[in-house]
Amino acid sequence: MFSGGGMWEAMHDDMAGYFEVRVDGPKRRHYRLFCLLERDGAKLGLGGPSIVLITPKDKPFRTVLSKADYADVRRLGEEYKARVPRSVLA
């Protein structure tokens, strides 16, 4: 598990409840993994507390993701959260 320092960040504002794993890659690219934490995963069919990957995104160095990119993450997250038991690929 990442302990902060920029690699694992809790998001805020419209993205509150989501977490972002940040990695800088070659050729001046930023890679992001958007995740949700399922603390009560056992109640949702996950077998226990879980970190769930919602979607990856990447962007050029020193740019920001678009509002549409963040909306896509939220849409996928809401689709995932609407299912009980959760549908996951283990």
Q: Which stretch of DSSP H or E encloses residue 25?
A: strand 19-25
Distance (Å, whole) CA 31 – CA 60: 9
pLDDT tens profile 34-47: 999 999 988 888 88
pLDDT tens profile 12-58: 999 999 999 999 988 889 999 999 999 998 888 888 899 999 999 99
**Phi, psi (rounded to 5 degrees) for 14:** -65, -20
**What are 25's two structure tokens?**
């890659």
- Residue 1 has what pLDDT? 45
**What are 49's two structure tokens?**
């507390």
Distance (Å, whole) CA 16 – CA 37: 12
Question: Is 72 a residue whose pLDDT tops 80?
Answer: yes
